[in-house]
Amino acid sequence: TTFVSGRVIVTHDSKTSTWHCPCIDGKFSCTHKATAKWHLFEKMPKMFETAKIPKEDFTCDEAEDIGSITDEAAERMIKYLISHKKIPAQLPETLVTSSRDAKALSGFPKHLIPSEDACTECGQHALGEPQLISATAKILTLSGLVTGISTYRKTCLNCDMVYRYQDWQDGVHNFDDHLLLSIHLCLLLRNALQTHTSVGRIIEIIELTERESFPNKDRILQAYLSFEGLTDHDYLYACDSCGYHPAVVVMGVHNEGVFSLPVSEIPNPPQNYNGEVNAHSFWEAVTMEVISHGLYPPGCRNPFVVEPTYHNWSPWIGPHTRHSDILLNTESEKVCMPDLSDGVDQYLTKEQLADEVLNLKLSEIKKLCKKCGIDGRGSKLDLVRRLRDEMDSSAIYNQVFKKLRGASGGWAVITCPCGVVYSLKFNLRAERPSDFADLLLSWKIFPNITVYDNASGLVSHINERCPQDTPFAIHEGTLLDHTAENIRQAAEHNLKVNLPWLKRRKQPEDVGGHPVTGSAEHYCLSDNFHQSNNKQNSDILRHIEIVPELAETLNSQCAEQLFADMRKNNYFLNRLTLSAHMFLQRNIMHNYNVRKNTRAKEYM
């Protein structure tokens, strides 16, 4: 008998009296199975009078019967895996090849037993005998399923430390003792994500090709994320050409890269919060959550889930680029900022939102107009104009913003001119110049040239934030003094300002000069594509074209080009949970940087 609950199909085998749901292993109960049983009991109560209760059908409350562990034991286990069971970032080719061919050659071990014989936690005490966890585990490969795998655990008889099988040398990644991935498949999924193909689509292709039904795709994604969580990535976030401290940087925000987040439910930070967060601790917690999903069945309480808070939400900056593990995140101050109803000029103008509305389908724009109480008749352009005209109302503005951006504020990046990402920040709320100030002020060495589409806003914020030691002390970050003559010549394209130290290191170098250029000068510039954001006449003195050394070679659109590429991932990234979104995006960006550096070396 087959029942459909939403899009989930639950099946009942009357011969073995077992229930099967794609969302969970057969040993566990879930809401879909419960719904199907309730429906059958209402329609066919006699069926349950003779049915045997299957021994393998457990709920989370009966977890002890299936070898589950306590939260404390899970934490010890995860930390052990991270410290002792890391997978090399560069795996031997022979291992990848053998993992690829293992299904055809029956090369996978049938019994996966932990390799540890003595406890590493309490002084090398001998471990107990292997305990069978599952005799029906599956290994997922590019060519289908390998079934009938037995997985085991060992426990220290002295301190109760639990050891599970986690030996990548066999070409297998163990996720939860029931679901395992071949190393070759993991690498395939990594490369697929680099070409904007989701894990779910790859699995669907394999299912159609091999005519086999794989486990739940979300569970497979979690398995892949745990593989990346245990991989020894360095996450350097640096360009081989520009080094750890680029002299010129380009900044931008990907507004469409969002996750569902009720920001109104985020608790206010403690009163003594100073805007600092420990990046190492935060990202370690995110990694632990990713790995923990292999220890907690779906639907069970997971104490390792990272909840969004203003005082524990960290960007990522490469370890050699940041000045320490303590980074800045002052997003909590956005909560206190006035909204449109206070007449404050917002960085996200209604013109900018209107431009993004144009990218929507006509049917979506009509629905948006209806939700905002605006006439939905007319052409696409007519509807966008009406929405733009009504966005002076904060209620309409918020509706449009929510439609376009989701609840979070996208993710911000700082790149070098080569397009390699140095900093990544996941905004809980709409982007402001303060987000980039947080990143720049967390760097060990401030760049000489900063390119940003709201340059004057960034300079004003940093000058207010660092009045005694602002990096933009000269001309407020513009190239020359704000005289009427300089502004006139710039407007007539007759102004040139040479910065020779961008090509050849300044000699003698300035006190506190940048290690690459030797100059202690700092400028905040913008490009021709964002001249409409100029709010003051003096902003024309920020144009890149004024500097010959930059106008000749600088690709000021490298951040926008990155976003155009990453936008192709929105269809699967924006559906993920917060931690999964952040973890996977940071991982994708790391692999993007690695590929970019590798290609640059090949062309040298």
pLDDT digits (tens, 9 = 90+) for 528-554: 666 656 668 899 999 999 999 999 889
Question: Is 50 exceeded by the pLDDT of residue 440?
Answer: yes
Considering just the CA atoms, what is the radius of gyration of the chain in Å? 28
For residues 476 and 83, what is the distance between their CA atoms, to the nearest angstrom? 48
Which residue is listed with tokens 């509305």? 357
Here the tokens at position 248 are 């010129």
Question: Is 90 exceeded by the pLDDT of residue 239?
Answer: yes
When pLDDT is cut at 50, 70 and 90, the band that residue 190 belongs to is very high
For range 197-219, the mean pLDDT:
97
Round the average pLDDT of the chain to a whole number and report it: 88
Of residues 87 and 62, the one with the higher pLDDT is 87
pTM of the entire structure?
0.81
Here the tokens at position 601 are 């070396």
| 114, 154 contact by CB (below 8 A) | yes
Characterize the bridge pairing of strands 179-182 and 172-174: antiparallel
For residues 248 and 440, what is the distance between their CA atoms, to the nearest angstrom? 12
Minimal CA–CA distance to 67: which of 25, 30, 34, 109? 25
Omega cis (within 30) before 22: no
Query: What are the b/e assignments for 463-477, b being 16+ CB within 10 Å?
Result: eebeeeebbbeebbb
| 505, 429 contact by CB (below 8 A) | no
pLDDT score, position 534: 65
Minimal CA–CA distance to 124: which of 152, 161, 150, 76? 161
- 4-18, 169-183, 285-299, range with the lowest pLDDT: 4-18
Q: Which amino acid, 597?
A: N
pLDDT score, position 26: 55
For range 575-579, the mean pLDDT:
90
Instruction: Give the dihedral of Cα atoms 458, 460, 462, 463; nearest 10 deg.
Output: 160
For residues 571 and 579, what is the distance between their CA atoms, to the nearest angstrom? 17
Interacting residues of 214 by C-beta distance below 8 A, sequence separation 6+: 140, 145, 203, 206, 207, 220
Task: Provide the percentage of residues in the chain whose pLDDT is more than 90.
Answer: 65
pLDDT score, position 8: 67
For residues 448 and 377, what is the distance between their CA atoms, to the nearest angstrom? 51
When pLDDT is cut at 50, 70 and 90, the band that residue 49 belongs to is low
Q: What sections of 492-577 are H helices per DSSP?
A: 548-551, 558-566, 570-573
State which of 15-29, 162-176, 354-368 shows the largest mean pLDDT. 162-176
pLDDT score, position 580: 96
Question: Is 50 exceeded by the pLDDT of residue 565?
Answer: yes
Interacting residues of 297 by C-beta distance below 8 A, sequence separation 6+: 24, 25, 28, 60, 63, 176
CA angle centred on 376, ends 374 and 379, rounded to 5°: 125
Which residue is listed with tokens 């996750």? 259
pLDDT score, position 21: 76
Question: Is 80 exceeded by the pLDDT of residue 403?
Answer: no
When pLDDT is cut at 50, 70 and 90, the band that residue 345 belongs to is very low
For residues 188 and 195, what is the distance between their CA atoms, to the nearest angstrom? 11
For residues 533 and 454, what is the distance between their CA atoms, to the nearest angstrom? 6
Minimal CA–CA distance to 250: which of 564, 566, 559, 563? 559
Question: Is 80 exceeded by the pLDDT of residue 268?
Answer: yes
Half-sphere exposure of 7 (CA within 13 A, CB side): 2
- 29-33, 80-84, 189-193, 457-461, range with the lowest pLDDT: 29-33
Q: What is the pLDDT of residues 34-45, one digit of tens each?
A: 888 878 877 777
pLDDT score, position 12: 77
When pLDDT is cut at 50, 70 and 90, the band that residue 22 belongs to is low
pLDDT score, position 335: 73
Q: Which residues on adjacent β-strands are paired with residue 154?
A: 163
Strand positions, DSSP E, 123-228:
131-141, 144-155, 162-164, 172-174, 179-182
**Helices 279-292 and 217-230, packing angle to 10 deg:** 140
Positive or negative, the CA dihedral 7, 139, 295, 157 is positive
For residues 39 and 164, what is the distance between their CA atoms, to the nearest angstrom? 39
Q: Which amino acid, 386?
A: R
Q: What is the pLDDT of residues 269-316, one digit of tens each?
A: 898 999 999 999 999 999 999 999 999 998 889 999 999 999 999 999
Domain ranges (residues) in the chain: 2-57, 65-230, 340-404
